[in-house]
Amino acid sequence: MRRMFLPCCLAAVIGAGAASAKGPRFYDDDPIARAPESQDASGAQPIGISLLYEYTFNLFATANHKPSNTRAGNVNTIDEVPDSGWFTNRIGGGSFSEADLVRGGIMGRPPAPEKWVVTREKSAGTNPGFTARDANGETWFLEFDSPDRPEGESGAIQIATRIFWALGYNQVELFVTTFDPQKAEIDPKATLRRPSGARTPLTRKDLEEVLERAARNADGIYRASAGRLLSGKVLGPFRYAGTRPDDPNDLVPHQHRRELRALRVFGAWTNMVDLKAGNTLDELEERPNGRSIVKHYLQDVGSTFGMANHPHEWDMGWEYFFEMGPTKRRLKTFGFGLSPWQTVPYTEYDSVGHFEGNEFDPTTWRPQTPTTPYMEMRADDAFWAARRVAAFTDDMIRAAVHTAQFTDAAAERHMASVLIERRDKILRAYLPALNPVLNPRLDASGTLQFDNAAVDARVAASPASYRSTWLRFDNATERTETIGVASSASTTIAAPRELPSRAGEYVAVDISAESGAHQSWQQPVRAYFRRTPSGWALAGLDRQP
């Protein structure tokens, strides 16, 4: 995986005495667009993670974790996350459309609800559901809405699945469908695990007991969310720290994967409070070359938009399950020491959970329990995540919400408006927090152009000026020699005339900005360009030391 994983592996290399042959800083194929996964992972075996252990460890150990300030270990040389079995670049890439967002990760046909054959009970989660085959013989995981949240759970997961797929995460294919008990059968081989642990045949009474806990339409038909069965071998959840020992391609500790750190931002935006291993899934996927890789899914993103809250719970997103400080304050004041979540004026809809944007603060948002990537997130990780949130236009957000198929138009408008408001707060919090220079381009004539992510998102004013310091860069030794300095009031700067001209030579340029409102913009972003026969190509970018 070359230098991309150097921050995480350097200590081991030095310890082995193998650091004597230092290679060049950049290679001809930099920046890579996809992380190499060349090893066969077919030996990976299913694992399980105890929910009680995970919750306890995260609340009392992870919550006290001291961040290492380690740069994300899976970024390429231009500080981006390449595609992999974990992540695929989608929104923000230039060609991503509203239609792409609405379609999401759906590749196949929807379920055929004319007939259902129930095959197994639901094995995880609190909402009622079971596994069943549709009229086409395809297997689906059905999950129903609770009576106090009709359309809520099924709508939330439709919206969240499309958002997280657009952000780059692998998602199970999901549809809104219907279930008519009159057209349902029970597979003769279907069983149910009883409280004693024994498995006995699934009966019609068992089916009715599941449906008693589900929201039913006036015509006796149930609305459900249907998730397509994955085609590969299911390996269980992934951990949010360390690596998977039976996956030879899993080299970067998960707490140092940028896409997992970014869940602190994406989770805050959608109020995805249930960040736990039990809501993830690893699948062994066979590739055309005969090798298998482990593909990593955010399996269940339905604990979003306040849907994890019970009707009389309002603290989700504000505090961990347990925090000593707020608990002591409430005990000392006999409950009169109010926490912020106790005074939030929520607008209530049956199909929307406790979800608001007016009091929302992305920097203080809390999931139910912290994860190590959550604690390890740096400013450059948050900046990367906020740029992807910024790529969602108002129309895109409204289109995503419309896929929930809410019957209440007011609930749909409310959900979209809160997402837009929370998006804007995330942009204001994270885009101006460090030098937001982005996408540097150097043309053959020596004109440098770049973008300012914070200014483009309208969360910061243009700086008074930009300053560029130009350097010759030796790719073998990493030595630099100053060529010149140039300034501009715009995002276009003319380079000094003394730029290298031979193919294969490199130049580095430090770009900073003078902004009275944002002192951090004085810390330069360094861009590296490689001379090619046709001009200059961006080879590297350093944003945060």
Q: What is the pLDDT of residues 266-293, one digit of tens each?
A: 999 999 998 889 899 999 999 888 899 9
CA 489 to chain centre: 36
Q: What type of residue is 379? A: A
Report which of residues 24 and 195 the model is more confident about: 24
Mean pLDDT of 503-532: 96
What is the structure's pLDDT at 311?
Answer: 62
pTM for this entry: 0.92
Selected residue with higher pLDDT from 126 and 88: 88
pLDDT band at 5 (very low <50, low <70, confident <90, very high): very low
Task: Locate all alpha helices (DSSP H) within 345-393, ordered by sequence.
Answer: 372-376, 379-390
pLDDT at 433 over 60: yes
Tokens found for residue 255: 């707490």
175: pLDDT strictly greater than 90: yes
Which helix (H) or strand (E) is 513 found in, with range?
strand 506-514
Q: What is the mean pLDDT of residues 81-108?
A: 94
Q: How far is CA 106 from CA 167, 172, 537, in A?
A: 15, 8, 36
Percentage of residues in the chain having pLDDT higher than 70: 94
pLDDT band, residue 125 (cuts 50/70/90): low
Give me the chain's average pLDDT, please. 91
Domains recognised in the chain with CATH numbers: 2-103+240-290+308-430 (no CATH), 116-234 (no CATH), 437-542 (2.60.40)
Lowest mean pLDDT among 344-358, 407-421, 469-483: 344-358
Whose tokens are 């298998």? That residue is: 292
pLDDT at 308: 65
Residues 395 and 414: their CA atoms lie apart, in Å, by 14
C-alpha angle 349/350/355, rounded to 5°?
50
pLDDT (tens digit, 9 = 90+) per residue, 184-226? 999 999 988 888 888 889 999 999 999 999 999 999 999 999 9
Tell me which residue has tokens 């300053």: 467
Name the band, by pLDDT with cuts 50, 70 and 90, for residue 158: very high
Query: Residues 521-539: what's their mean pLDDT?
Result: 96
SS3 (DSSP) at 27: coil
Give the containing element (helix H, strand E) for 228: strand 222-228
C-beta of residue 466 within 8 angstroms of C-beta of residue 510: no
Q: Cα separation of 181 and 185, whole Å?
A: 8
Q: Which of 112-126, 196-210, 239-253 has the highest mean pLDDT?
A: 239-253
DSSP per-residue letters across 191-222? EEE-TTS-EEE--HHHHHHHHHTS-B-TTS-E
Residue 285 and residue 293 in contact, taking contact as beta carbons nearer than 8 Å: yes
Instruction: Evaluate whether 433 touches 544 at the Cβ level (below 8 Å).
Output: no
Note the helical H segments in 240-314: 258-261, 263-270
Share of the chain above pLDDT 90, in %: 76
pLDDT digits (tens, 9 = 90+) for 458-507: 999 999 999 999 999 999 999 999 999 999 999 999 999 889 989 999 99
pLDDT of residue 309: 62
The reported pLDDT for the residue numbered 198 is 86
End-to-end, the C-alpha distance of the chain in Å comes to 21
pLDDT above 50 for 9: no
Whether residue 14 has pLDDT greater than 60: no
pLDDT of residue 11 exceeding 60, the answer is no
pLDDT in tens, 295-339: 999 988 988 888 766 666 677 888 888 877 777 777 778 777 777
**Residues 6 or more apart whose Cβ sits within 8 Å of residue 272:** 160, 263, 266, 301, 303, 304, 367
